[in-house]
C-alpha cells in the first residue's frame, strides 16, 4: 500500500477586526441583571433532568412496555 500524503492548504492571512475606541464606564453602567438567564438555565436543567430520568425508567422497563404494545 502506498502512503497517503497530506494535502497542503494555502492559507490566506486573516485581518483582525477593528475594535472601537473604549471609553471608560462606571461600574454601575457595566453591571447588568442576569436573573432571567439564571431562571431559564434552572428551568432547562430541571427539564433535562426529568427527561433523563424518564429515559432511564423506560430503558429499565422496556421489555415489559414492548410486550404491552406488541400484543
Range of the domain at 57: 37-70
**pLDDT given for residue 48 in this prediction:** 98
Supply the pLDDT for residue 51.
Answer: 98
pTM recorded for the entire structure = 0.49
pLDDT of residue 31: 73
Quick one: pLDDT at residue 11? 74
Listed in sequence order, the residues at least 6 apart from 58 whose beta carbon sits closer than 8 Å to its beta carbon are 65
Task: Kindly state whether residue 42 falls inside one of the protein's structural domains.
Answer: yes
In a domain, 54, yes or no: yes
In a domain, 60, yes or no: yes
Distance from C-alpha of 36 to C-alpha of 19, rounded to nearest angstrom: 29
Residue 33 confidence (pLDDT): 87
Domains held by the chain: number: 1
Low-confidence stretches of the chain (pLDDT beneath 50): none
Amino acid at each position: 500500500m502506498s502512503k497517503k500524503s497530506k494535502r497542503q492548504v494555502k492559507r490566506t492571512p486573516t485581518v483582525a477586526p477593528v475594535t472601537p475606541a473604549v471609553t471608560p464606564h462606571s461600574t454601575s453602567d457595566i453591571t447588568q441583571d442576569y436573573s432571567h438567564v439564571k431562571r431559564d438555565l434552572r428551568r432547562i436543567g430541571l427539564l433535562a433532568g426529568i427527561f433523563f430520568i424518564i429515559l432511564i425508567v423506560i430503558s429499565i422497563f422496556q421489555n415489559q412496555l414492548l410486550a404491552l404494545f406488541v400484543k
